[in-house]
């Protein structure tokens, strides 16, 4: 018994262009998880990421005839998604300028709930997470995009550069700036902790 042969991306593209709607549905199914992950990594919001994913596929469908196949379809879709995510970040940045930042609420929302037994490690993870979150707020949309693709998607600097059409050195510079801000946040957190005494450790013991 032979296994069913999966159609290639190219075959599905050709099918779509020939009017086969099912072919495009298969393409969506093939790549929607990856696209959603990338979008969510950048915008940090499931609803926005869902919307960006849908729009990415609609735009890809609309311009599919222009896809020449020089890059992989996945790369092309990822680029569209990243571009849309960056637009969303810019919008969010604008909105954040006119709204109050509820730091404490966000920290509570992001408190880790994993089941690691070591309370100190959990505390450090939480501390790192909050430092990252605070540092992210100070980044430009470009820096944020780069940092989040590195942090959440674990993309290499070269892959990020490729997706964004930037030089690797430029990506490195943006990332360095982001890390510098995280380090600063961590240092401030520790300074604050020292001033307040060791309440956190005591409470966890």
Partner 1 sequence: MKPHYSEADLLETYYMRPGESMPVMMHLAGCSECAARYERLEVKMHSLRACAHEEKPETFWARQRIAVMRKIDGRRKRWPLAGLAAAAVLVLVLGGVITRDGNESPSSVQVVDTTTAPAALSLDESTPRRLDDSPWASDELEDYSAMVAWESWVENGDQS
Q: Contact residues for partner 1 (CB under 8 A)?
A: 16-19, 21, 24-25, 28-29, 32-33, 36-37, 40-41, 50, 53-54, 57-59, 61-66, 79-80, 83, 87, 112, 114, 116, 121, 124-125, 128-129, 132, 150-152, 154, 157, 164-167, 170, 172, 175-176, 179, 182-183, 186-187
Nearest distance, CB of residue 175 and partner 1, angstroms: 6
Nearer to partner 1, 89 or 99 (CB): 89
Nearer to partner 1, 87 or 159 (CB): 87
Nearer to partner 1, 40 or 134 (CB): 40
Sign of the C-alpha dihedral computed for residues 94, 184, 101 and 128 taken in this order: positive
Nearer to partner 1, 1 or 181 (CB): 181
49-79: burial string, b at 16+ Cβ within 10 Å, e else = beebbebbbeebeeebeebeeeeebeebbbb
Distance separating alpha carbons of residues 83 and 77, to the nearest angstrom: 10
What's the alpha-carbon Rg for the chain, to the nearest Å?
21
Nearest distance, CB of residue 2 and partner 1, angstroms: 27
Distance separating alpha carbons of residues 80 and 58, to the nearest angstrom: 11
Q: Is 170 helix (H, G, I), strand (E, B) or coil?
A: helix
Does residue 35 contact residue 78 with C-beta atoms inside 8 Å? yes
Q: N- to C-terminal Cα distance for the chain?
A: 61
Sign of the C-alpha dihedral computed for residues 87, 89, 93 and 99 taken in this order: positive
Nearest distance, CB of residue 200 and partner 1, angstroms: 16
Nearest distance, CB of residue 179 and partner 1, angstroms: 5
Distance of CA 89 to the CA centre of its chain: 11
Nearer to partner 1, 2 or 189 (CB): 189
Nearer to partner 1, 10 or 98 (CB): 10
Nearest distance, CB of residue 172 and partner 1, angstroms: 7
Nearest distance, CB of residue 58 and partner 1, angstroms: 5
């Amino acid at each position: 018994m032979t296994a069913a042969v999966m159609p290639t991306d190219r075959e599905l593209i050709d099918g779509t262009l020939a009017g086969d709607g099912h072919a495009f549905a298969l393409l969506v199914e093939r790549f929607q998880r990856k696209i959603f992950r990338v979008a969510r990594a950048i915008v940090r919001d499931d609803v926005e990421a869902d919307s960006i994913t849908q729009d990415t596929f609609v735009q890809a469908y609309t311009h599919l005839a222009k896809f020449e196949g020089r890059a992989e379809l996945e790369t092309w879709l990822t680029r569209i998604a990243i571009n849309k995510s960056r637009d969303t970040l810019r919008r969010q940045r604008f909105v954040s300028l006119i709204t109050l930042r509820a730091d404490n609420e966000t920290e509570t929302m992001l408190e880790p709930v994993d089941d690691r037994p070591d309370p100190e490690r959990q505390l450090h993870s939480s501390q790192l997470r909050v430092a990252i979150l605070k540092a992210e707020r100070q980044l430009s949309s470009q820096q944020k995009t780069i940092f989040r693709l590195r942090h959440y998607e674990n993309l290499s600097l070269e892959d990020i550069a490729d997706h964004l059409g930037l030089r690797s050195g430029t990506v490195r510079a943006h990332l360095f700036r982001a890390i510098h801000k995280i380090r600063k946040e961590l240092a401030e957190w520790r300074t604050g902790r020292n001033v307040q005494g060791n309440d956190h450790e005591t409470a966890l013991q």
